[in-house]
Amino acid sequence: MSTPASTWTVEAAAKILLEAEATRTDRHPITDDWPALDLQTAYQVQAALIADKVAHGAKIVGVKLGLTSAAKQRRMGISSPLTAWLTDDMVLEPGAPLKINDLIHPRVEPEIVFVLDKRLAGPGVTRESALAAVGSVYCGLEVIDSRYTDFKFTLPDVVADNASSAKFVVGELKCDAGELDLALEACALSVNGNVVDSATGAAVQGHPAEALALAANALAERGIALESGWIVLTGGMTDAVFIEPGNQIAAEFTHLGSVAIAGA
C-alpha cells in the first residue's frame, strides 16, 4: 500500500530507506508516493540517513561521486556529479569476501580513488586545485546496492538513497597522482577472468580531478568541505556488473595495479 504524500517528511523517508537496507528489502521509488521530493530535499534525506548511521557508531571516511559522465548528467538534467557519503562500515578489506546475502542486488564498478592530504573547499575549485589536494591515488571497486527494485529510480530517489552506496574496496598499490595521466589511465573489468568492459579515466568527467572539483563546488553550496584524509570515489568508469556468490569481479589498471572482489 502506498503512503499518502501528506505523511512524508525528511525523517520518514530516511527511516524507510534505512529499514530497507537493514532488512535487505527493495521497494518502489519514494517519488511514487512523494512526487514533491526534489533534489534539495533529497539531500536532506541523505543527510538524515547518514546522521542516523553516525549516531549508531558509523564514522564518515569520505565521499563518493555519482553520475560523473556528461551523458548521464544530461539525461538526468544536472550539471554536476551527485555526492554521497562513505562510512567506515562500507570498507571491504582487500581479499575479504563480499557476503551477497547481506545485500539486495549488488553490482560492482571500477573506480579511480583519491585520498586527500589537504582540506578542499569550494567555491572556485578547479581541476588543478583539486588535484593539488590529493595525496595519493589508488584503484578501487565500488559495490552499489540500490534500495529500489530493479535499480529503477528518479534523481531525487537515488540521492536520498545515498547514491546506492553499499561497500567498496581500495587497491593496495599507492601512487602519486601528479606522476600519472589519469585521463589516460585504462581499466579492464573482468568477471571470472573474462573481460566484460573497459574504459579510461576520461570517462569520469573528462578527468577524475575535474569530477572532484565539481563535487567540491557542489558540496560548498551546502556548506560542506572535503576534509584531509578523506577517501573519494571519483565515479564508475564503466557500467556496473552484477555479482553473485562464487563470482569474482576484478579490475586491472595500467599503472594503479589491480583489485578484485569475490562474492560469497
Half-sphere exposure of 22 (CA within 13 A, CB side): 10
Confidence at residue 17, expressed as pLDDT on a 0 to 100 scale: 98
Confidence at residue 6, expressed as pLDDT on a 0 to 100 scale: 65
Closest CA to 165 of 9, 53, 36: 53
Confidence at residue 4, expressed as pLDDT on a 0 to 100 scale: 62
- Does some domain include residue 72? yes
Domain interval for residue 213: 10-263
Contact 254, 202 (CB under 8 A): no
What are 248's three cell numbers? 569474482
The span from the CA of 81 to the CA of 91, in Å, is 22
- Does some domain include residue 1? no
What are 65's three cell numbers? 561521486
How many domains does the chain fold into?
1
Q: Angle formed by the axes of helices 10-23 and 39-55, to 10°?
A: 60
Range list of β-strands (E), 67-145: 82-87, 107-116, 134-144
- Does some domain include residue 82? yes
pLDDT band at 165 (very low <50, low <70, confident <90, very high): very high
pLDDT band at 72 (very low <50, low <70, confident <90, very high): low
What are 23's three cell numbers? 532488512
pLDDT band at 80 (very low <50, low <70, confident <90, very high): low
Closest CA to 10 of 24, 224, 38, 23: 38
* pTM of the full structure: 0.93
Question: What are the Cα distances from residue 102, in Å, to 14, 23, 98, 236?
Answer: 20, 9, 8, 22
- Does some domain include residue 157? yes
| C-alpha 122 chain-centroid distance | 20
CA dihedral 35, 38, 43, 45 (to 10 degrees): -20
| % of the chain exceeding 90 in pLDDT | 85
> pLDDT of 205-230, one tens digit each?
999 999 999 889 989 999 999 999 99
- Does some domain include residue 2? no
Contact 5, 36 (CB under 8 A): yes
- Does some domain include residue 4? no
Query: Please, what is the end-to-end C-alpha distance for the chain in angstroms?
Result: 34
Domain at 225, CATH number = 3.90.850.10
pLDDT band at 198 (very low <50, low <70, confident <90, very high): very high
Which residue has cell 600519472? 180
Contact 243, 261 (CB under 8 A): yes
- Does some domain include residue 41? yes
- Does some domain include residue 5? no
> pLDDT of 91-144, one tens digit each?
999 989 999 999 999 999 999 999 999 999 999 999 999 999 999 999 999 999
